Structure formats: structure tokens, C-alpha cells
Chain A
Amino acid sequence: MNLPDQPLSPDPHLPRDQRLPLTVITGYLGAGKTTLVNHMLRHADGRRIMVMVNDFGDIAIDASLIQSQKGDTLTLSNGCICCSMGGDLFYALSDALDRQPRPDHLVIEASGVADPMRISEIARAEPDLRLDATIALVDAAGFEASIGDVHIGTSVARQLTASDLIVINKSDLLPSEDLLKLQDRIAALAPEARQVSSRFGQVPLELLLGQCSLQNLKDMEKPCEGHDHPHDHEELYLRWSMMADLRFDKQDLAARLDRLPAGLLRLKGFVRLKGEADWVSVQVVGQRVDLDLLAKPPGGLERSVLVAIGVRGRLDVAALDRLFT
């Protein structure tokens, strides 16, 4: 038997924009999940990220970052929290939701064989959670061995098909023609997911977590400034943004979001709806669109605003311009 459990008394009805965003990180052993999670924690930039791992044994956090440890929970000096799920995802999730103050973003590092759908389904069901993204890591050199393995092949395939974004890690270890083949193979397995390559296990946080805050969006002139991005990112990714007095009909907006160009990895922002005072929050990760009608206008924002990040050389910026004018 394997039973879950929950502690008590969540807030009855949170305003929708208070939902805790959840990112699920999957990938078989050796794909680089731990490195990625460490990278996130080091570059949190004031965001209080809560990371849930299976056990601390996996996640050697720099000792200099650790402020205190209490039972299953590590508190870091930058405000982030890392906790062990103790084999019980549901209990840990309840704890995260009841935590005061509530973290800004929840990241679950799933076990190497977890079915990410079983985790992301909770975020779809739980009104206090918002599924931000399911991200699969693939070890470029080890992929063939894991997908072909009689015992874990199906788990690895399931991780890919359940993902919005697939990070092909250690891609520098493969000759470029092999990398292309690998990308095609993964695309065939998971046609819905968008792929990025990573050379050093480092992916910008705005891609992993949708790093731009409302304040960032308001300061459009300097979007996402001040991050400690390794210079490398700038060569791999391209940003696009717009701020304009645009209003859309909701159906029309949804139709436009269905036609987003290839190479787009994330799109985020707030859009004003036509003929009414309503606003929607727009979250796109890969090809999954999340539209959420806001009860009131996002604080201080007067015009529609959208920012996007995509793969340099593959993101058709002109297509984005055409869609949102």
C-alpha cells in the first residue's frame, strides 16, 4: 500500500493570480537534474524558489548557501527553500501550499522514473497551484541507452511526451550530425514538446521559470535586467517583447496563441480584452497555453504587454509582430 496524506486548512478561495506556479523537472539518472536545480537555486535573484527533491543525498547544495536545516527542510541565505519529499509527494505539496509566506515558485525534481503526468495533474486539479511547465532533461550521450532499456525505456518515453520543454543536456558531447539525429528522434517521440540544447547544464531562469515578474513587465525598457546569465545564453536565445494599447476578443486571442511560431519557448504577459475591463494573464510554455481571466487589472498596468523567449535563429520574430499588432 502506498497512501498519501494531507495536512489541513488551505485558504478557501485565493485570487487566481495568487496560485503557486509549479515546474516539474524530469529526466533519467545522469541527465543533469541536480545540476540544473543547483543552478536555479544559485540564480534565484530574489525569487523565493522552493525546490522539492526525493532526498538531499541527490542535491549537493553549496554549503555557503545554506542558512539552516530543520528536519527535511533546508533554508538558503537567498530566501530559497529546499525540502525532501520523503517519498510522499502529496504531504510535501500540502506543506508547500500551507507555508507562510508562500514561496514564489515551486519546483519538483521528480525521481528518474517518475511519470510527470502524475505530478502535473495535481497542479491542474488544485486551485491553489498553477502548472507552469514540465521540463524533461535528456543526457545527449546516454539517451539511446536509456530509451532502449527494457526496464526503463517506457518511463523515459513517458517523460518526454509529458513535457512542454525538453533540454538536451551535454549536447557538446555529441558530434553535430548526431545531435541533429537525436533532436529528430526526440521530436518524433514528443512532437508537442519544444527542444533546447544546453552545453553546460545551464539554462536561463527566465526559460525554466518564466523569470519576468510584473515589475519586469512594467519596466519593459529594461526587461529581465540584472540576471547573472552566463554570456553563453545570449548567443543561444532571442527575446521579443511588445507593449501596446491592444485589445483582443478572447476567442481571437486564443486563436492567435494557437499559431505561435516554431522556435518559441515561452511567452508571458497580460492582455486586455475587447469591450470590457477584463484582463487575461497569458502563459505559454512550449505549445501549452494557459489563459486566465483576472478578477482585476494587474496592478498599475495600462497597456497589453507580452514578452517571449525563443531559440536564436529559429524564432520568427516577424511572425510574432504580425500576430500581436
Chain B
Amino acid sequence: MQTVVYSAKKIITMAANRPEATHVAVRDGRILAVGSLEEVSGWAAPGGGDCRLDETFADKVLLPGFVEGHAHMMAGGIWQFTYVGYQDRTSPDGELWQGLEDIDAVIARLRQIDAELEPDAPLIAWGFDPIFLTASRLNRFDLDQVCDSRPIAVMHSNFHLMTVNSRALDMAQYDRNSNVMGVDRGEDGEPTGELHEMAAMFPVMRRLGVDFRSLARTEGGIRDYGKVCHRCGVTTATDLINDLPLEDVEVISSITEEESYPARLVPVLNAHTAPADEIAAQALKLRGKSTDKMRLGSIKIITDGSIQGFTARMRWPGYYKGPDHGIWNIPPEQLMTTIETLNAAGVHMHIHVNGDEASEVTIEGVARALTKNPNPDHRHVLQHCQLADAAQFRRIRNLGLCVNLFANHLYYFGDKHYELTVGPERAERIDACATALAEGVPLAIHSDAPVTPMGPLFTAWCAVNRLTASGRVLGESERISVEEALRAVTLGPAYTLHLDSEIGSIEVGKKADFAVLDDDPLSVDPATLKDIGLWGTVLGGRLQPIS
């Protein structure tokens, strides 16, 4: 039995009894010992023939492999389209896509892709973010400059808007006479090319063959998702809503079991496709299909919309500026019975709640369900839970619920929340990590990739600094320490997935899953936390350098 002892500049373990170390011994993909060289060497057999010292990480810092508790498989497949965002991004295959800082740069990149495409193929781009390109709005004439004979659609980063060229407008039969709400018009009454929300985007997406579901279901999409995780140090990632038909489970299972697949996946069953008792039965059946690298059995419920889309369900006094389009995705009465049924069946739930009315109704539903069917150690998770106040966090704690807060929102949407959606006071306590911890709530933080880019160091940076895109500090008192933030991207999410006995910290017996960093996050300036370089990861003892 081979034992490998890795030396490191520093090992940050997330284990209270031995928070830091310099050496970790690995055997059979698991952590055998953590400590100094002398301490871990005691595990070597006399003579040390089956034990070797590996110095690969001698000047690196090891952390537990990051755990992304709320993201989507689509974050991989989306790269089939052309990236035109403002920030630099690296594709799953390691190609650096430079951020585009003005519309001319967007046009130039699209022209480059246009030249490589078949004559009739649509050109589809994603990641465009007008928040950062304030000089003028991208319009159809800009895109007509790229090509006027093929349809072009540029999906905005929030996935609620797209800008298309004249050819695509023609295909959808949009013109000055169309009476469709989301079709933006210029002063001359003609469509500008900007389409708002799914209803208006639907005819274009249908005709251009933009099919998000297949992005998450193809073999390529699943492989790319693994690469996305690997590139940012994630060794376990959720796919936080999936219909999981058995044929798809087979595919995910066989791909993840390949030794070279770089991450463990936790696909979570969509609870909206059948009555709750059938979902419960399906979830329990899926649980039995779990493998070492694919964990099944949890479900996802979506209760409301999004705050930036004004579709989250809000308590009084509601939205700050702008109309309240709050929608329930499921009637509250039905939500209550669904929670009751699933809890009674012992199924672990992830419940999407954005607005504070959605969290309130859900908390009440869980309280009733637990009163009826006590379920110790249930660890149901409120996902996003962005506007919970201290009183809600206290109930959350008392009920044994966990929260997974959307820290990346602070940077990407924080300014909008301050100025438009919820106003200054509530914006300053949005995604209230410090309050959650102060009230004793188990905390994780997430990216919701591809809504925002996956990157636990960036997510931790958001929770630590609470800086918005414009540079505003959004709620200084809700900042958390670097240690707390690192825990919220490792052991915290592992706990919300019932996996904290296997992953999330560097402790004896756990899987040898590490994130390998170039620098020590606890000693760098917290403002530069997101900029720390990554060597790669270790998964079950397998070294996975980023190429």
C-alpha cells in the first residue's frame, strides 16, 4: 500500500484541533495523517519502502478542495457559445478569453467567429454585461456590422436579456407593428434588437436552436463542467436542479467514474415535475444509485423569482423603485404540503428563496413539517436566502436549517440593489453572512454559475470585502473574516450536502481532496484574495495540475 507524504508551505485544514500543518500523508485516496513531517512519518512501515515524500507542493498552500454548493451543469456547456463578457474568463479547455471593454471589441470578436462559421449557422454569444459598458447600448445595427445574412444573438450575462441582429428579428417576425412587451423599441418605433425576458426571447431562441437544457445533458457539457470546476479549485460541485431521468443518471455516473474526471458531482432532483410523494420515491431511489464521485438523493424546490428581476416575493415594504412583479413558482399552500411530504419521507431539500416573503413562508413550512415529523439532522438548505433578517436567521437556526448565501451577488448586482431593487438599508444587509454566523446558522456561499462565474476564492472575496462593481462597500458590518469565508466555501457547503464527514476539511479519514494555491489566503491582503493563483487540485489523492 503506497503512502505519499506531501510537504507544503502551509496546509490550512479547517479542522479546529489542528488548523495548520506542513505535511499531509495520503493512502488509498484518503488522508492518513496531518501534521509535521516527523508526526506523519510515524505511519511509514519500518524501512519506509512503501512511503515516499513528494515535494510538488513544497512552495504551495493546501486547502480542502473547494465545494460549490449552488451551481449548474450548464456552466460547462455554455462555452459552446462565444464569450463576450467584460471580465477575462478562461474556457474549460484553458483558453483565455480576454474581457471586452467596449462595443467595438465585442463586434471585433464576433467578426472573428463569424469568419469561422458555416454560412447558415447562427452566431450565438453569451456573457455580455451592459452594466460595465455604459457608453451606449448594444443594438441590432452593431450586430448587423458583423453579419447581416446570418442570425446573431448575444445573450446578456443575467440570461434575462438578449440583443439580436436584424436577420434574427426578421426570423421572429418582429417589426414596428409587433405588439410584444419585451421587444425594445427606439424613438423611431423600430425594434432596437434588445429583447427582454423569455417571452420575447422565445421565438428567437427557438429559431436559432438555443437549447439550454441540452447544454447540461450532453456528454461534452458534463465534461466541460468538470473542467470549469477544476480550473477554480472546486473538487465537489452541485448541479442544483436536474430532471435526472435514469438514462441521464447513467451517463453522469459513467463519466464521473472515469479516473480523469476532475470533480465529484452532486446532481439535485427537480421537485417540480411530479406530485411530492412521487418525487420523494424518486429521490430515495436515486440515492441508491450514488457512487463515489456522484451523490444523489437531494431535491430542489424553487419558490420565487429573482430580486434583480423584481420577481422575488418580498415582504412589506416591497421593492424600493420599480414595479413589484413578485411571483410564486409554487402556491404557498402547495409548498407547505410538498415540504411536509418530502420531510416526512426523509428527503434532503434545497429550497430556492430569494425574497424575504419566500423565506418567511418556507421557514413556516419547515417549522410545521418538523413539528409533525421530527427529522433530526435534516440539514434542509435555504438557497440564496438573500434578504433574510436577523429574526429569520434565528428561526432558521432554531429549526436546524442551513443557508447558502449568494455572495457573488454583492459584486455583480449590489449597486442595482442599493439604487433600485431594495434600497440602501436592505441592500447593506443583503446576503448577510455576518448575521448568519452570529446567529449560529450553518453557512455556505455560492456563485450560481453560470449566472456569475464559478470561483470560490472570488466568492470568498465578495463575502470578505462586500465591494460592488462600482467600488461601493455594501454593508461593512456584514463583512466576514477570511477564515470564515474560506470555511463557507469548504466545510460549510460540505455540511449542507451531508458530506462533511468525507470532504470539506483536511482531517484523518477524509478524502484527499485539496485545492492547491500559490499563496496563503490568510496572509495576503484580503482585498487580493480573489487574485491568488491556483496550481490545481488533488482529487482522491490524484494530482490534477491546471495545464
Select the residue from A29, A58, A126, A152 with max chain B CB neighbours within 10 A. A126
Determine whether the beta carbon of A111 is less than 8 Å from that of B331. yes
How far does the Cβ of B131 sit from chain A's closest Cβ, in whole Å?
Answer: 18
Whether A125 contacts B200 in the complex (CB less than 8 A), given A6-B206, A12-B171, A91-B213, comes out as yes
Closest A residue to B276 using CB positions = A57
How far does the Cβ of B136 sit from chain A's closest Cβ, in whole Å?
Answer: 26
State A10–B240 Cα separation when bound (angstroms): 30
The interface residues of chain B lying within 8 Å CB-to-CB of A122 are 198-199, 202
The interface residues of chain B lying within 8 Å CB-to-CB of A10 are 206-207
Q: Is A7 an interface residue (CB 8 A)?
A: yes
The interface residues of chain A lying within 8 Å CB-to-CB of B243 are 86
The interface residues of chain B lying within 8 Å CB-to-CB of A12 are 171, 207
Q: Which of B180, B210, B325, B329 contacts A124 (CB 8 A)?
A: B180
Whether A112 contacts B273 in the complex (CB less than 8 A), given A5-B211, A6-B206, A126-B206, comes out as no
Determine whether the beta carbon of A152 is less than 8 Å from that of B209. no
Q: Is B159 an interface residue (CB 8 A)?
A: yes
Determine whether the beta carbon of B270 is less than 8 Å from that of A121. no
Q: Which of A4, A54, A57 contacts B212 (CB 8 A)?
A: A4
Q: Is A155 an interface residue (CB 8 A)?
A: yes
Closest B residue to A115 using CB positions = B327
Determine whether the beta carbon of B200 is less than 8 Å from that of A7. no
Determine whether the beta carbon of A87 is less than 8 Å from that of B180. no
Whether A6 contacts B327 in the complex (CB less than 8 A), given A1-B72, A127-B172, comes out as no
**Proximity bits, A148-160, B CB within 8 Å = 1, else 0:** 0001101100000
Determine whether the beta carbon of B203 is less than 8 Å from that of A127. yes
Determine whether the beta carbon of A57 is less than 8 Å from that of B451. no
State A112–B200 Cα separation when bound (angstroms): 23
A:126-146 near B, CB below 8 Å: 126-127
State A122–B327 Cα separation when bound (angstroms): 17
Closest B residue to A150 using CB positions = B357
A:1-42 near B, CB below 8 Å: 1-10, 12-13, 28-29
The interface residues of chain A lying within 8 Å CB-to-CB of B451 are 1
Q: Is A93 an interface residue (CB 8 A)?
A: yes
Determine whether the beta carbon of A111 is less than 8 Å from that of B357. no
How far does the Cβ of B81 sit from chain A's closest Cβ, in whole Å?
Answer: 13
The interface residues of chain A lying within 8 Å CB-to-CB of B181 are 121, 124
The interface residues of chain A lying within 8 Å CB-to-CB of B305 are 2
Q: Is B278 an interface residue (CB 8 A)?
A: yes
Whether A90 contacts B202 in the complex (CB less than 8 A), given A1-B448, A10-B207, A84-B274, comes out as yes
Interface size counted on chain A using CB atoms at 8 A: 45
In which size bucket is the chain B interface? 35 or more
The interface residues of chain B lying within 8 Å CB-to-CB of A152 are 328, 331-332
Q: Is A75 an interface residue (CB 8 A)?
A: no
Q: Which of B74, B183, B209 contacts A3 (CB 8 A)?
A: B74
Q: Which of A29, A55, A111 contacts B274 (CB 8 A)?
A: A55
State A78–B524 Cα separation when bound (angstroms): 71
**Proximity bits, B131-156, A CB within 8 Å = 1, else 0:** 00000000000000000000000000
Q: Is A181 an interface residue (CB 8 A)?
A: no
How far does the Cβ of B406 sit from chain A's closest Cβ, in whole Å?
Answer: 10
The interface residues of chain A lying within 8 Å CB-to-CB of B357 are 151
Determine whether the beta carbon of A112 is less than 8 Å from that of B331. yes
Closest A residue to B309 using CB positions = A2
Q: Which of A88, A111, A125 contacts B330 (CB 8 A)?
A: A111
Q: Is B214 an interface residue (CB 8 A)?
A: yes
Q: Is B173 an interface residue (CB 8 A)?
A: yes
Whether A115 contacts B325 in the complex (CB less than 8 A), given A55-B275, A152-B331, comes out as yes
Select the residue from B324, B328, B357 with max chain A CB neighbours within 10 A. B328
B:175-233 near A, CB below 8 Å: 178-183, 197-200, 202-203, 205-207, 209-215
The interface residues of chain A lying within 8 Å CB-to-CB of B324 are 154
Whether A151 contacts B361 in the complex (CB less than 8 A), given A4-B212, A125-B202, comes out as yes
**Proximity bits, B96-138, A CB within 8 Å = 1, else 0:** 0000000000000000000000000000000000000000000
Closest A residue to B360 using CB positions = A151
Whether A55 contacts B273 in the complex (CB less than 8 A), given A5-B211, A94-B206, comes out as yes
The interface residues of chain A lying within 8 Å CB-to-CB of B171 are 12
Determine whether the beta carbon of A57 is less than 8 Å from that of B274. yes
Q: Is A324 an interface residue (CB 8 A)?
A: no
State A113–B327 Cα separation when bound (angstroms): 7
Q: Is A65 an interface residue (CB 8 A)?
A: no
Q: Is A97 an interface residue (CB 8 A)?
A: yes
**Proximity bits, B440-470, A CB within 8 Å = 1, else 0:** 0000000010010000000000000000000
Determine whether the beta carbon of B172 is less than 8 Å from that of A86. no
State A232–B284 Cα separation when bound (angstroms): 49
Whether A121 contacts B200 in the complex (CB less than 8 A), given A91-B213, A115-B325, comes out as yes
Determine whether the beta carbon of A97 is less than 8 Å from that of B206. yes
Q: Is A240 an interface residue (CB 8 A)?
A: no
State A8–B306 Cα separation when bound (angstroms): 28
The interface residues of chain B lying within 8 Å CB-to-CB of A231 are none
Q: Is A322 an interface residue (CB 8 A)?
A: no
The interface residues of chain B lying within 8 Å CB-to-CB of A6 are 202, 205-206, 209-211
A:78-129 near B, CB below 8 Å: 84, 86-88, 90-91, 93-94, 97, 111-115, 118, 121-122, 124-127
Q: Is A56 an interface residue (CB 8 A)?
A: yes
Whether A151 contacts B202 in the complex (CB less than 8 A), given A8-B211, A86-B270, comes out as no
The interface residues of chain B lying within 8 Å CB-to-CB of A86 are 243, 270, 272-273
A:277-296 near B, CB below 8 Å: none
Determine whether the beta carbon of B329 is less than 8 Å from that of A125. no
Determine whether the beta carbon of B199 is less than 8 Å from that of A125. yes
Whether A155 contacts B182 in the complex (CB less than 8 A), given A1-B451, A56-B274, A121-B200, comes out as no
Q: Is B302 an interface residue (CB 8 A)?
A: yes
Determine whether the beta carbon of B183 is less than 8 Å from that of A125. yes
Q: Is B292 an interface residue (CB 8 A)?
A: no
**Proximity bits, A210-243, B CB within 8 Å = 1, else 0:** 0000000000000000000000000000000000
State A17–B202 Cα separation when bound (angstroms): 20
Closest A residue to B450 using CB positions = A1
How far does the Cβ of A20 sit from chain B's closest Cβ, in whole Å?
Answer: 13
State A118–B181 Cα separation when bound (angstroms): 10
Select the residue from B72, B209, B305, B331 with max chain A CB neighbours within 10 A. B331
Closest A residue to B448 using CB positions = A1
State A72–B332 Cα separation when bound (angstroms): 25
Whether A29 contacts B334 in the complex (CB less than 8 A), given A121-B199, A151-B357, comes out as yes
Closest B residue to A88 using CB positions = B213
The interface residues of chain A lying within 8 Å CB-to-CB of B173 are 13, 127
The interface residues of chain B lying within 8 Å CB-to-CB of A4 are 198, 202, 205, 212
Q: Is B333 an interface residue (CB 8 A)?
A: yes
Determine whether the beta carbon of A121 is less than 8 Å from that of B361. no
The interface residues of chain B lying within 8 Å CB-to-CB of A72 are 273
State A90–B275 Cα separation when bound (angstroms): 20
State A1–B212 Cα separation when bound (angstroms): 12
The interface residues of chain A lying within 8 Å CB-to-CB of B207 are 10, 12
Q: Which of A3, A29, A57, A94 contacts B278 (CB 8 A)?
A: A57
Q: Is B326 an interface residue (CB 8 A)?
A: yes
Q: Can you give 19 A-B contacts (C-beta < 8 A)? A: A1-B448, A1-B451, A2-B329, A2-B352, A3-B74, A3-B212, A12-B207, A29-B333, A55-B273, A90-B202, A91-B213, A93-B202, A112-B334, A113-B330, A125-B200, A127-B172, A127-B173, A127-B203, A151-B361
Instruction: Knowing that A5-B211, A87-B302, A151-B332 touch, tell me 11 more A-B residue pairs with CB under 8 angstroms.
Output: A3-B72, A5-B215, A6-B210, A8-B209, A8-B211, A86-B273, A87-B273, A111-B329, A113-B331, A121-B181, A124-B180
Nearest 10 pairs of A and B residues by beta carbon: A57-B275, A87-B272, A5-B213, A121-B199, A113-B328, A5-B212, A112-B331, A86-B273, A8-B209, A125-B180
